[in-house]
Amino acid sequence: FSSLPYLEGWSMGKRRVVKDIDVLHQKVQQAETSQISKLFSQLLINTINQREGAFGFAGNQVRIPRHVFTALIGGKWRFYANAVLIGQSGEKEVDSVEGCLSLPNESYQVKRYHWIALEHELPNGNLQVDMYKEMDAIIIQHELDHLNGILISDHGIKQGEN
């Protein structure tokens, strides 16, 4: 991964979720098509030992400042690059109480879409569109917020301490 300079200095001992709010509020850059496979591999390496109890990881949460994330969808960990919502249910009508690995011991009530249509880029450069609903849609919206520099604390109502 020497061709990915922002990963220099990453080691097994440093693998933990970013909690620096200033870093997390920065919008990430698109992933270059030629780098997507390497970014997915690095995302796997950076998250494999942290997945218990988690539903997703945005690249910027694990020191990969590119538009990639992994999410537990339908019981399987899936990888996404350069994902954008291209459709959604009418209003944000679902009141979701969410936690975040970057905001430990906090939870927020957040409004989310019930279903979404997501376009994302595959490692070969092709675009794919998938539909998600309910919990899967909520997880993806949460990860997309991260990649856009938005935290649940920015638009949610804080709940009692966990």
Query: According to the model, what pLDDT value does residue 10 have?
Result: 43
CA distance 105 to 17: 14
Query: According to the model, what pLDDT value does residue 116 have?
Result: 98
Query: According to the model, what pLDDT value does residue 161 have?
Result: 55
CA distance 89 to 162: 30
Query: According to the model, what pLDDT value does residue 31 have?
Result: 98
Contact by Cβ (8 Å): 92, 138: no
Question: Could you give the 3-state DSSP secondary structure of residue 132?
Answer: strand
Query: According to the model, what pLDDT value does residue 43 have?
Result: 95
Regions of the chain with pLDDT less than 70: 1-15, 161-162
∠ Cα 39 131 154 (to 5°): 65
79 is written with which tokens?
Answer: 């990888």
Query: According to the model, what pLDDT value does residue 146 have?
Result: 98
H or E element, residue 136 = helix 134-147
CA distance 108 to 110: 6
Q: Which of 106, 105, 113, 104 minimizes the C-alpha distance to 145?
A: 113
Q: What is the CA radius of gyration of the chain?
A: 15
32 is written with which tokens?
Answer: 């270059």
